[in-house]
Chain A
Amino acid sequence: MIQLPCPWCGPRNVAEFRYAGEATARPDPRTAEPQQWRQYLYHRRNACGWVQENWYHSAGCRKYIRLERETLTNQTRPAGAAR
């Protein structure tokens, strides 16, 4: 069991959150080709190490937050609010 650093609620149990995936850059909707959208939809870096992620604090402040997690050890550290 791990705790996630919510910028609004402090460190909270991971069970309160919903995983919203790796933080990736969204293509520009005005110029993006279908190929780029598919790349954005399907491909992930899936790195083994520190990764920037989005989480939704569904049983807490109900805000999307961004944090950093080490994907091998599941250590976490704050990275500021996502949006």
Chain B
Amino acid sequence: MSAGNGAIGNGSSNGHPGNGHRPGNGSGPAGRSTRTTGYSAFSLLRHGLTKSAWPRAWREHDLQRSYDVVIVGGGIHGLATAYYLARNHGIHNVAVLDRAYLGGGGSGRNTAILRSNYLTPEGVRFYDRSLELYRHLAADLNFNVMFSRRGHLTLAHNDASLRTMRWRAEVNKLQGVDSEVIDPGQIAELVPYLDTSDTVRYPILGALYHPPGGIVRHDAVVWGYARAADRLGVHLHQQTEVTGIDVVDGQVRGVRTNRGDIATPIVVNCTAGWSTLVSDLAGVSMPVQTFPLQAAVTEPVRPFLDAVVVSGTLHVYVSQTDRGELVFGASVDPFTSYSMRGSLDFVEGLAAHVLELMPALSKMRLLRQWSGLCDMTPDYSPIMGTTPVEGFYVDVGWGTYGFKAGPVSGEAMAEAIATRATPEIIAAFGLDRFGRGDLVGEKGAAAVGH
């Protein structure tokens, strides 16, 4: 893999290096002339007074016979890739296909936690860039994504995890990321109702405190990217399932869908859960196993929990949304599956673990539970960039950490496609690393309890 053509732009239009390989000249048929209603306090007031209907956030189109780029998967990764292709690189003739509705997969099923306190320098740099993009996302997209920086705590219940956290804190500081190890006294100040006594089964010895971490409204991120991409001329096709990818002489020629065939030189696999199946259509083998991950949410209560609290030993993470619901997540299920049914087994274990941390929650009632699919890779890092099939790009293998990486992935994938060179920031995540045995050592920090 050709590594990098310099650092990625800082969110401004970083233009195109003009190496003559740009796929098409990309002029969106509907163009960019549809900027009629931006969201603002004034438009809110106007719509409130006149009671006029808000325009649809994005349009529907007939399927064109050809596109410059076809993106499979209408979640945050696919939509962000389309948005940055159009905004940063001027490639507007792009289609995003989703077999169901936008944001119905992992983008709508995650627990919306953002952080960048990873273990490897590659990981820290990458996720920190994403956090930086998230900070300005609401202004960029003209859509309130409700990003709330409230601090992120990873609890240590034994000496081994405390040691890993000291290591992570040092790696983070070297990369300029705010992160430090704090003691149980400081934790008790930050998180009321947390049982920090030393008489429990898993006493809390310390925590990795990451102040820039927080939560965001995941649906708003999806809708914001969809609306912004639509305005730049990208076609969003829902209920459009890819049934085949045409590859001739090792090169992508088009995709077949349930709504007709599309000719395209570039297909980007931005799916989660089904990434193996979509890659199989192009004849590309993936080192991915699909595991369900379950989460649950309680009834809303008054705001009491400001920080995001994660316990790797107890396999649980807790945060309180702006509506007051407590969102609980866990580690992936113990075996692979494409099934998205929740299990009672999970709820029992989750409740026990949450009460171990916060006994005061024993009277809370769960509102609902759900499950999403996580494509786990052997090294808990994504697979991004080119494949042996020319024109077939992947942005998959996002395991349990895909949502927080959405913006930076879109930015980097757009650059990889537009410039035909792998950006430095994703150089470590290529598919070819598995053949070389050059894996990324992110296992210690990718999520809980792996």
Contact = CB atoms under 8 A, between A and B. Distances in A.
Interface of A: 1, 14-15, 18-19, 21-22, 34-35, 38-39, 41-48, 71-74
Given A1-B343, A43-B285, A72 B437 contact: no
Contact of A19 (B334, B338, B339, B378): B334
B38 interface: no
Contacts of A44: 276, 287-289
B290 A46 contact: yes
A41 B338 contact: no
A72 B339 CA distance: 5
A38 B437 contact: yes
A79 to B, nearest CB: 16
B159 interface: no
A46 B434 contact: no
Contacts of A48: 274, 277, 338
Interface string B275-296: 0110000000111111000000
Contact of B338 (A14, A18, A39, A71): A71
A47 B289 CA distance: 9
Given A71-B338, A74-B339, A42 B277 contact: no
A35 B435 contact: yes
Contacts of A39: 435
Contacts of A34: 437
Contact of A43 (B287, B334, B339, B344): B287
Nearest to B275: A46
B335 interface: yes
Given A19-B335, A42-B287, A46-B286, 5 more contacts: A1-B343, A18-B334, A39-B435, A71-B290, A72-B338
**Interface pairs A-B: 4 shortest CB-CB:** A19-B335, A42-B287, A46-B276, A72-B338
Contacts of B338: 48, 71-72
A15 B219 CA distance: 34
Contact of A73 (B339, B345, B378): B339
Interface residues of B, number: 23
Interface of B: 274, 276-277, 285-290, 334-339, 341, 343-345, 378, 434-435, 437
A1 B345 contact: yes
Nearest to B436: A38
Contacts of B334: 18-19
B437 A46 contact: no
Contact of B289 (A15, A46, A73): A46
Contacts of B289: 21-22, 44, 46
Nearest to A46: B276
30 contacts: A1-B343, A1-B345, A15-B345, A21-B289, A22-B289, A34-B437, A35-B435, A38-B434, A38-B437, A41-B378, A42-B287, A42-B434, A43-B285, A43-B286, A43-B287, A44-B276, A46-B288, A46-B289, A46-B336, A47-B276, A48-B274, A48-B338, A71-B290, A71-B337, A71-B338, A72-B337, A72-B339, A73-B339, A74-B337, A74-B339
B131 to A, nearest CB: 29
A17 B338 CA distance: 19
A1, A42, A45: which has the most chain B beta carbons within 10 Å?
A42
A46 B335 CA distance: 12
Contacts of B290: 46, 71
Contacts of A15: 345
Contacts of A14: 335
Contacts of B285: 43
Contacts of B434: 38, 42-43
Nearest to B345: A1
A22 B290 CA distance: 12
A39 to B, nearest CB: 8
A43 B378 CA distance: 9
B334, B337, B345: which has the most chain A beta carbons within 10 Å?
B337
A15 B341 CA distance: 17
Nearest to B343: A1
B286, B334, B335, B434: which has the most chain A beta carbons within 10 Å?
B335
B345 A71 contact: no
Nearest to A19: B335
B437 A71 contact: no
A76 to B, nearest CB: 11
A74 B287 CA distance: 22
B201 to A, nearest CB: 20
Contacts of A35: 435
B273 to A, nearest CB: 10
Contacts of A38: 434-435, 437
Contact of B344 (A1, A21, A73): A1
A54 to B, nearest CB: 11
A71 to B, nearest CB: 5
